[in-house]
Amino acid sequence: MRKLGKTITASIIIVASVVSNIDIKAQENGNVLDEIVAVVGKNIILHSNVQTQYLQYRMQNGITGSESEIKCSLLENLLYEKLLLHTSDVDSIEVTKNDVEQTLDMRLRYYVNQFGSEDKMAEFYKKPLEKIKTELREMIREQLLVENTRSTITSGTVITPSEVNTFYKETLQDSIPVISPVIEYDQIVRTPIISDEVKKSVHNRLNELRTRIVNGENFSTLAILYSEDPGSAKAGGELGLTKRGSWYPEFEASAFTLEPGEISEIIETEAGYHIIQFITRRGEFVNVRHILLMVKPSTTAMVEASSFLDSIANLIKIDSMEFEEGVVRFSNDPNRINLGKVVNPNTQTTTFSVEELDQAVAFVISKMEVGDISSPITHKTEDGLNAYRIIRLKSRSEPHKANLTDDYNMVQKWALQQKNDGKIKEWIKDRISTTYIRINKEYQGCQFDNRWL
């Protein structure tokens, strides 16, 4: 298949009408609104489908390639998807209702969070949430069918060491890619102890805000002015429609039991102290506003945490303590169960490219040798708490051309992808010969990778 360089991620693309005759065009007052540009089996591709993806491609990739070339590539990708969808029907490939609903819930939650609330989303699309859900549900069902069908084509593909070696020598030889530096590091995290006096002070400040709201002041205004949740403060504390199981248990227990407009008592979570105002509920989704005041350690507590880690680093440097022992005994980081190994959230592995590193970590590591232990550096935990950490640079590769000794797994992955691409190309060729396909004259001059015409 022709690649466009980046995967085009569609937002909500809703096909408003389905017509069966390729020559029929949707019209209003004599003007063409949309047009069927291709048919695969009983599945259609509209001009609006191509145009929407073209606009998204331009926004993501800038001006690269002519409009006609890009649209031909986009159409070919859509033809491939419709051929997979047609095959799922012919071969009776199915998806469960539960899979569709779970994906719908996840997708809807993402969209609502992007808009800020379900009401804002409904207002933007000028249709009620239930209608959006109905249209999304069918689109998701088709996407899952396409994914399942694609998996059946490539399932069971294996790549032998001999094939990997041949791929490297014959396919990559003229254009061996350069592998960027890859880094692994471990850490010991120390979160400062927060005194009862500090906690009481924050609790009292939030209680004053709650009293002002109960006495008639606007919750949203005070959230904008005082809330320390950077994700919601600018939206007046509104969190958007969120599914049960997404928040801290203490926060959720209150959010799902409040009545419309009701203000919660002060709730303590790992993030700090909250007050919540209920907005609306839709089944297992609820929308609330909150004000968060974080309980921050004093300057003295921060200095004590830094000094403590500095002493641990010195003990490790003079071989009086193993790094792993320091992790188990003293680290406040959840990764202590992995002996301090830091996991890349993008790949779920322990390796990072330089670009994936936190800027502060990248700066410190750039001055370290493998095996070195850093001085204490400031750190923000996943819960947004201020802390310190010391880092051990475990490994760092140098930029190099890919080779079978150091990069076998990566080369193997490339070789497997090429083999799967070949299987898919053969599958397309075979399916095209037994499937009704029609393409409008506008696109019949396209230089497709496959013989769709």
Q: What is the pLDDT of residue 64?
A: 66
Residue 391 CA, chain-centre distance (Å), reads 27
Rounded mean pLDDT, 68-82: 93
Between CA 372 and CA 266 the distance in angstroms is 45
Q: Provide CB contacts within 8 A for 337, sequence distance 6+.
A: none
Amino acid occupying residue 108: L
CB-CB contact of 281 with 252 (8 Å): no
Q: How confident is the model at residue 63 (pLDDT cuts 50, 70, 90)?
A: low
Q: From CA 71, how far away is CA 39, in angstroms rounded?
A: 16
Q: Give strand ranges (E) for 41-181.
A: 43-46, 178-179
Is residue 368 included in any domain, yes or no?
yes
Q: Return the pLDDT at 110.
A: 77
67 and 213 housed in the same domain:
no
Residue 210 maps to which CATH number?
A: 3.10.50.40
**443 & 365 share domain:** no
Q: Given the structure tokens 């070919």, which residue do they identify?
A: 76
Q: What angle do CA 358, 226, 287 make, to 5 degrees?
A: 85
The domain tally of the chain equals 3
Please tell me the pTM assigned to this model.
Answer: 0.57
Q: Clarify whether residues 280 and 349 are in a common domain.
A: no
For residue 207, the one-letter residue type is N
Any domain includes 247: yes
Q: Taking 50 as the threshold, does the pLDDT of residue 19 lie above it?
A: no
Q: What is the pLDDT of residue 61?
A: 63
Would you say 368 and 198 are in contact if contact means Cβ atoms under 8 Å apart? Answer: no
Within a 13 Å sphere around the CA of 412, how many CA atoms are in the beta-carbon half? 12
DSSP state of 296: P
Whole-angstrom Cα distance, residue 44 to residue 105? 27
Same domain, 340 and 424: no
Report the range of poorest mean pLDDT among 152-166, 231-245, 295-309, 403-417: 231-245
Exposed, middle or buried: residue 229 (CB in 10 Å: 0-12, 13-18, 19+)? buried
Same domain, 287 and 335: no
Mean pLDDT along residues 280-305: 88
Q: Do 52 and 88 reside in the same domain of the chain? A: yes
In this predicted structure, the answer to whether residue 5 has a pLDDT above a threshold of 80 is no
Token pair of 351, please? 């390796």
Closest CA to 278 of 268, 289, 267, 293: 289
Average pLDDT over residues 118-143: 84
- What is the model's pLDDT at position 214? 94
Distance of CA 123 to the CA centre of its chain: 25
Q: Give residue 31's pLDDT.
A: 52
364 and 393 both lie in a single domain: yes
In a domain, 431, yes or no: yes
Domain extent, residue 325, equals 182-191+321-400
pLDDT of residue 28: 46
Question: Which of 293, 312, 346 lies at the terminal end of a domain, its last residue?
Answer: 293
Tokens at 60, concatenated? 């993501």
Burial zone of 96 (CB within 10 Å; 0-12 exposed, 13-18 middle, 19+ buried): exposed
